[in-house]
Structure 1
Amino acid sequence: MILDRFRLPGQVAVVTGAGRGIGAATAVALAEAGADVVIASRTAAQLEEVASRVFSSGRRAHVVPLDLADPAAAATLAAVAVEEFGRLDLVVNNVGGTYPRPLAETTPEFLEEAFRFNVSTAHALTVAAAPSLIKTGGSVVNISSIMGRVGGRGFVAYGTAKAALAHWTRLAAADLAPKVRVNAISVGSVATSALEIVVGNPELKAKMEAATPLRRIGEAEDIAATVVFLASRAGGYITGKILEVDGGLQSPNLDLGLPDL
């Protein structure tokens, strides 16, 4: 059956930033596909709620409250997965994000912080996980962004970091082939807490939807389903690629209204 290719029976995944939004939806989707999950974020209460949803699907979850802004801390999750579940098949580098900021207010320190949070953490965890992933023939899925490939005011730090993560994906895929696949998802506007100020404003939401070819804001499950595809045998002939899951966007669908300098 073709649908069997989308299953992940007995596999083990690490999902960062799993307390809410895309990370939480991904952890639950992976569990529904048959995987046990190590879930990490800063807020223990959010992780426990996600863990209960994983348990309800019949799989196991191990909760790790952790400051994922520290690459060394993120790297420890690989060992945690092997210690708790005996193996590691998938790393989902979901943690990331950076607040918009005008160019003139984007200090080198702010830019470096964005790079560390969005790229260095993914690098550290993937390098730590690589020996286990090589053993299992596993994969890595990185969560990038449309802002890593289009221009838009206010996103010089975030967009630069996500563009770096996208190209890091291509380079890491070459280094880890043929035993480990590495892919990324270029995410468009998704209804998570990061977009709450827009989704909660009917006027702003309508403008964003009108500027999106598919005329809607994405759901976290749209991204979670793509992670399952890339991690499973269904995506087994894909590596070094950036899948655009963005409603068809070719330019930003939200103008921050920043004036000319």
Structure 2
Amino acid sequence: MSVLEQFSLQGRVALVTGAGRGLGRAMAVAFAEAGASVICAARTAADVETSAELCNATAGQGLAAICDVGNADQREAAVKLATERFGRLDVLVNNAGGAYPNDPLNTSTADFDRDFHFNVTTALAMSQLCLPQLREHQGSIINISSAAARYAQAGFSSYSTVKAALSQLTRSLAADFAPAVRVNGIAPGSILTDALGQFLDQETQQKMADLTPMKRLGRAEDIAAAALYLASPAAAWVTGKILEIDGGAEASTWPF
């Protein structure tokens, strides 16, 4: 197999949650460009339909699935759609997640539980649903964690904790599912998506870039390239790892 063939997803089927925008859309399109058929799953119909259209404009295919990962019925429907339309499932990307900055003294236990469920519990649930297909096809799971999981930074006690839990779930599931299914994660640093951009003006963006050794914020395509590697045969001997894609930052670049 040539080097380029090792990065091909021809004939593979991937399901990407949170694929309506940002990192999820970029990963879905990258997989399709590599030849995969991709289930683009997210809550907003217009967003996932656009993502699917972008996938269909490549060498692969895209299919939209309305899926709130917090809804068990919608999780099951998204997985069923993949197997019924494409006959298999090779890659699961647990990308849906996130949490706002928080003050720990004013964070209710209900809010903390909500963040944990959204980021960690749903990733476990999706992995459980997909595991039979992934085992049959020697597939892989990719969990999208965060650089915040290893930083000590004020104002992120909820987000950093749940992402750290997701990173550890990744390592644990890798041990549980090996050798049939690989489980890896990506810990993005500061990526300039709509989710982050809503908090930043040009001045704060520049401050964050200055705090990053590579002197720029990340792009969604930076994460998509890492996800393609982990999903492809090129990473056949990689499991239980968290790829840190953060421009070299070893501390928070949050400027506030």
| Residue 109 (structure 1) aligns with | 110
| CA–CA distance in structure 2, aligned partners of residues 14 and 82 of structure 1 | 10
Runs of 4+ in 1 over 6 A off after TM superposition: none
Partner of 1:230: 230
Paired residue for 1:63? 64
The aligned runs of 1:23-38 (5 Å cut-off) are 23-38=24-39
> Is 1:19–1:40's contact at 8 Å kept on the other side of the alignment?
yes
Give the aligned length: 255
Task: State whether structure 2 residue 59 is matched by structure 1 residue 73.
Answer: no
Identity of paired residues, percent?
45
**RMSD value, Cα:** 1.2
Once residues 161 and 23 of structure 1 are traced to their aligned partners in structure 2, the CA distance between those partners, rounded to angstroms, is 19
Distance 2:101 2:95 in 1: 18
- The residue number in structure 1 matching 2:209 is 209
8 Å Cα contact 2:175-2:240 kept in structure 1:
yes
Counterpart code for 1:45: A
TM-score, normalising length from structure 2?
A: 0.97
Structure 2 residue ranges without an equivalent (≥5): none
Distance apart, 1:72 and its partner CA: 5.2
The superposition leaves residues 199-251 of structure 1 with CA deviations (integer Å, 9 ceiling, x where unpaired) of 5x111011000001111000000000100000101111100000100111111
Q: TM-score, normalising length from structure 1?
A: 0.95
Measured against aligned partners, the alpha-carbon deviations of 1:22-41 in whole angstroms (never above 9, x if no partner) come to: 00000000000010011111
Where do residues 74-223 of structure 1 align in structure 2 (5 Å cutoff)? 74-199=75-200, 201-223=201-223
Measured after TM superposition, the shift of residue 71 of structure 1 is 4.9
Structure 1 residue 69 displacement after superposition: 2.8
Q: Deviation per CA, 1:127-173, whole angstroms, max 9, x where unpaired?
A: 11000000000000000001111111111111111000000000000
Q: Deviations over 1:70-100 (max 9, x none)?
A: 3553344222211111000000000000011
**2:213 counterpart of 1:239:** no
Q: Deviations over 1:104-141 (max 9, x none)?
A: 11111111111100011110011110000000000000
Please tell me the residue identity of whatever aligns with 1:219.
Answer: R
Whichever residue aligns with residue 176 of structure 2, its letter is: D
Amino acid at match of 2:193: T
Partner-residue secondary structure (3-state), 2:99: coil
Structure 1 stretch displaced more, 54-63 or 243-252: 54-63
Contact 2:96 2:119 in 1 (8 A): yes
Kindly indicate whether the alpha-carbon contact (under 8 Å) linking 1:150 and 1:252 is maintained by their aligned counterparts in 2.
yes
Q: Distance in 2 between matches of 1:16 and 1:237?
A: 24
Does 70-79 or 134-143 show the bigger shift?
A: 70-79
